[in-house]
Chains A and B, each alone.
Chain A
């Protein structure tokens, strides 16, 4: 096409070409674009819309986001503190022994302990260990004198400090729970070299391990965890589990369970403390099992 193009020789020809349809159309479109941009800002809107569509994929940078990050870091820090506190509170609530409590509340963590729960744990200690921790008479006075409003425990590298606080947050008495010592006390209290039959408190409540566990495993999971509160003690023990027994007395809401292991011809009984109400459920299962067995016989 361009090969046929020639330059106009007359002014009229020039004029005709200038006011041609194509030129007018182009001018019209350019004007429309320019005027509409000035009137309705379509260019800004178009760019804005495009950028808004990418917003979620863009980085959170800039002064305001930095300030936001600081807030977010602060929140995370505070959340961690609260989380640790809640963990400590859970341990303080659920621990079945002082050794467990001392292991659960980590150094730097703290929590309040329910007075009744403390009493239960204290009463579960052997008498001598309990009075070494705090003399019974002093404990009676602290709890019954009306001054102690709450018990507060704080994790330490060596174990736990427990404070008896009055309403002003003043520590009236402070006791130190040495983790290693508590574990030792409980371990001594947890092992018996011999068989279940040698312990009179188990008389009439000794069951073959198979029967015992069959009855136990029929219970809901939450009850099982209240029965086998310290499974590691049983798992760690070598040998074959032959019998299990139930102590004839409850102490502070707990009943002792005895598990007899046979290893290289020697018998060892491992004790664990189970929640009283869970033991009743287990006993009921065991009794039903025995009855059914009798009927079958």
Chain B
């Protein structure tokens, strides 16, 4: 009896204590809810509206859409595979249709485990609504307060929205990794198809990813992703979404991933440069959230042709150097093409493999251009000294004293000297001593001024050797500066954007073509004529050997230690610069043989690219300015050679020891300027 009374008393105590504590908890909870409520984030109405952001689209000048940035358009549930929806519900929240924001049993279990087993964390206690609340409004820090607030917002979402609206918002904002947010994007990224076309196998794979997008990224950890998929399939079976037969069948499948998947990167050196410029001009918000439409200057066909040519050329270079496929480091390359008539950048390739190295060598890599700088020197000499292609100078060892420094003694590439040489031949064969004699006469400043007028923006050292390309420049600058020669001395600033429109099609920027005459057209033509000779019979003749027959002019460039090899050249309609070399100082050379010059690999890349890029254009030569007349000059003396009548075929001809030279009105052969 005494025990019974004790038990009753104890029970009474417990009852009233529980009652008191319950009432107290209720009061406390109400106070917490009231005080937390005002700081909770506002829930947008409708829920999906805020997920929408207009997409920025970039188009090529040829009309193709190159990339879409930042746009999010929610896909309706009717356009999502039911298998995916069932898989998500099974693995994330099988009670979704029943609860009102919280799964009480799972939450109590999670709470019990968290309180009783230190360090152990229960997975999957959050409902889809709670996850949605967390993803939309809260950080990912793990605190009880955050969890509580998340729960309150989940209650509000459940009260304000239908289950379909919640599910719709959830599947459109959830992250699947690899830059894919939302089911439609994920389906495109991983399987190259729309969300409505996902199969059961694919759906189950995708549904498993949100738990840990990095760890289950199927591109990196396919087997892990498949293991996770097995969990999803088992849950679907438990929840009754699939039969046992279906379970067995789907377990046997291994979904094929989309091979041309794009991660968060653009995959294009040109687009990286363009987006950088847009951000500089309009800011990150406009570029990623403004829904602008940009028409770029790039020509998709030329870009593709450039990529192929560079790829083939660098493979050829690897073979020449005896590099194995897995050798590291490997030589890099860059190609940049500009339309000389406008300055529009038509192709930009900044390296051999974007996904291996995003560093854009076409615009960022500053390297010595070597003899590629000589056209600026010849222009300066022609302008300042009234020289022409038939002016004779002596190719012999030269020493130029430099005040405050050691004497400059440039040597020819071949280490041999040929005596009297016409300037046209000197450029054709890239004779260094002649270039040194010219810069001695003009002074380095005249060369620098010409290069700057043409569009070189890098700092150029005021030293004699600047004429032999010892100051560093980028392929972008070289292409831009040579474009000025190609357009007869009219400079167009290079640009990448034709037009920018807002989401409603209103123009916010358009590029005007403003040419500025910076070089004398007649002297420019004289230099271009010599550069044509470089391709026809000089250091760039590989181009003709490769079957490129169109009128073209250019110049090779190779640095002393064979670290850099260039070819920059142009037709009247397109100018391109090609650079090859290692990112860090290293020689480009064939084993036990001389190094690789600009006339070898870069010229072949240039020829392959130009062949493809100009194949549909009508044949066109460089236009000859009015003041230009042509004379035949003797190769030894530089004096005029008269035509002689050939008795056999009754036609006039000139000696084969002569060369045709364009001259200005006031110039004659054998004149001493």
Contact = CB atoms under 8 A, between A and B. Distances in A.
Interface of A: 11, 14, 18, 38, 41, 44-45, 47-52, 54-65, 67-68, 70-71, 73-75, 77-78, 81-82, 85, 152, 163, 165, 168-171, 174
Nearest to A81: B508
Contacts of B45: 55
A56 to B, nearest CB: 7
Contacts of A70: 284-285, 288-289
B70 to A, nearest CB: 9
A107 B515 CA distance: 21
A18 B8 CA distance: 10
A52 B38 contact: no
B38 A57 contact: yes
Given A41-B99, A171-B512, 8 more contacts: A14-B4, A54-B37, A59-B42, A65-B137, A82-B508, A85-B507, A169-B513, A170-B342
Contacts of A77: 282-283, 285-286, 290
5 contacts: A14-B4, A41-B100, A64-B136, A78-B508, A169-B513
A165 B42 contact: no
Contact of B53 (A51, A55, A62, A71): A71
Interface stretch (B156-164, B246-254, B395-403): B156-164
A78 B502 contact: yes
B296 to A, nearest CB: 15
Given A78-B292, A85-B508, A58 B285 contact: no
State the main secondary structure of chain A at its contact with B.
helix
A228 B102 CA distance: 72
Contacts of B511: 169
A115 to B, nearest CB: 17
Interface of B: 1, 4-5, 8, 33, 37-45, 50-51, 53-54, 99-102, 104, 135-139, 152-153, 155-160, 173, 282-286, 288-292, 342, 502-503, 506-508, 510-515
Contact of B39 (A52, A59, A74, A82): A59
What 6 A-B pairs are tightest by C-beta distance, nearest first? A48-B159, A62-B137, A74-B290, A41-B100, A48-B155, A51-B156
A78 B512 contact: no
A174 B516 CA distance: 11
A60 B50 CA distance: 11
Contacts of B41: 58-62, 65
A125 B210 CA distance: 71
A56 B153 CA distance: 14
Contacts of B282: 77
B127 to A, nearest CB: 11
A68 B513 CA distance: 37
Contacts of A152: 512
A68 B43 contact: no
A194 to B, nearest CB: 46
A7 to B, nearest CB: 8
A113 to B, nearest CB: 14
Nearest to B160: A52
B160 A48 contact: yes
Contacts of A51: 37, 40, 152-153, 155-156, 159
Contact of B512 (A45, A67, A68, A163): A163
Contacts of B160: 48, 52, 55
Contacts of A48: 100-101, 155-160
Contacts of A58: 37-42
A64 B51 contact: yes
A174 B512 CA distance: 11
A49 B160 CA distance: 8
B147 to A, nearest CB: 15
B332 to A, nearest CB: 36
A55 B137 contact: no
A185 B480 CA distance: 41
Contacts of A59: 39, 41-42
Contacts of B8: 14, 18
A297 B4 CA distance: 129
A63 B100 contact: no
Contacts of A78: 286, 290, 292, 502-503, 508
Contacts of A174: 514
Contacts of B288: 70, 74
A18 B9 CA distance: 12
Most buried by A among B37, B38, B138: B37
A47 B155 contact: yes
Nearest to B140: A63
Contact of A65 (B4, B42, B153, B503): B42
Contacts of B152: 47, 51
Contacts of B159: 44-45, 48-49, 51-52
B156 A82 contact: no
A102 to B, nearest CB: 19
Given A49-B159, A58-B41, A74-B290, A63 B99 contact: no
Contact of B137 (A38, A61, A85): A61
Nearest to A76: B285
A58 to B, nearest CB: 4
Contacts of A81: 502, 508
B43 to A, nearest CB: 6
Contact of B50 (A50, A61, A64): A64
